[in-house]
Amino acid sequence: MPTAYKYMNDSWIKEQQERSDLVRGRLIVWRKQGTIVRLDRPTRLGRARNLGYKAKQGYVIVRIKTGRGTREKPRPRMGRKPRSLGVTRYTPQKSRRWIAEERAATKYPNLRVLNSYWVGSDHKWVWHEVIMVDPNHPVIYNDPNINWICDPVQKGRVNRGLTSAGKRSRGLRKKGTGAEKIRPSLGAKGNVGK
């Protein structure tokens, strides 16, 4: 049986496809705000709930703005052919969503990243909302559904590619035939070049 959150997600996608006045007005406001903005409530409640958000103490929502287009790389000062500079057409495997999660974790070092989701984009910027959890909050470490994130091994999980965005960029969504050499990661020691 479909829940109310499913209908909320469907209406959200429909608004984004139609590029309604509400969506365009929202992006105009977001462009003028900072790169990292802490929110009172999620913009996409249905998506946030699917990814583990609860409207109670200890949960924090942060919206991150990242740039679009090709990734920037420092231009070598000397000693290269023009085609060997490695400046253009440079696309690392780390996704924008993973980068947004890392920036949120850097901004709030006492919180841990639970998950994230896309909320909007225009010609220049992409916005993601990151669900963060306070592992030291009594409501969190007394809740058996979420207190796994309080373990010391979960510290710095976003930097080790343990979130959903990190696992996707590491190629861990694939299983079975054809995916024999992707674990622990495509770029892990011993797997490069095989």
Please tell me the total count of domains within the chain: 1
> Domain span at residue 93?
4-155
For residue 101, being part of any structural domain is answered with: yes
Whole-number pLDDT of residue 68: 85
Whole-number pLDDT of residue 189: 62
Whose structure tokens read 């916005």? 127
For residue 193, being part of any structural domain is answered with: no
Distance CA 182, CA 194 (A): 10
What tokens were used for 19?
């590029």
Find out whether 15 and 22 touch, Cβ atoms under 8 Å: yes
For residue 117, being part of any structural domain is answered with: yes
The DSSP code sequence of 90-120 is ---S--HHHHHHHHHHHH-TTSEEEEEEEEE
Q: What is the pLDDT along the chain (194 residues), one digit of tens a residue?
A: 678 888 888 998 898 888 888 899 999 999 999 999 999 999 999 999 999 999 999 999 999 999 887 776 788 888 888 888 877 777 777 899 999 999 999 999 999 999 999 999 998 999 999 999 999 999 999 999 999 999 999 999 999 999 999 999 888 898 889 888 888 876 676 655 44
Whole-number pLDDT of residue 191: 57
Cβ count within 10 A of residue 132: 25
Q: Can you give the pTM of this predicted structure?
A: 0.86
For residue 177, being part of any structural domain is answered with: no
Whole-number pLDDT of residue 99: 94
Question: For position 116, which CATH number holds?
Answer: 3.40.1120.10
* Residue 184 preceded by cis peptide, ω within 30: yes
Helix (H/G/I), strand (E/B), else coil: 58:
coil
- The tally of CA atoms less than 13 A away on the side-chain side of residue 160 is 8
Whose structure tokens read 């007005």? 25
For residue 133, being part of any structural domain is answered with: yes
Residues contacting 169, CB < 8 A, separation 6+ = 93, 94, 95, 98, 161
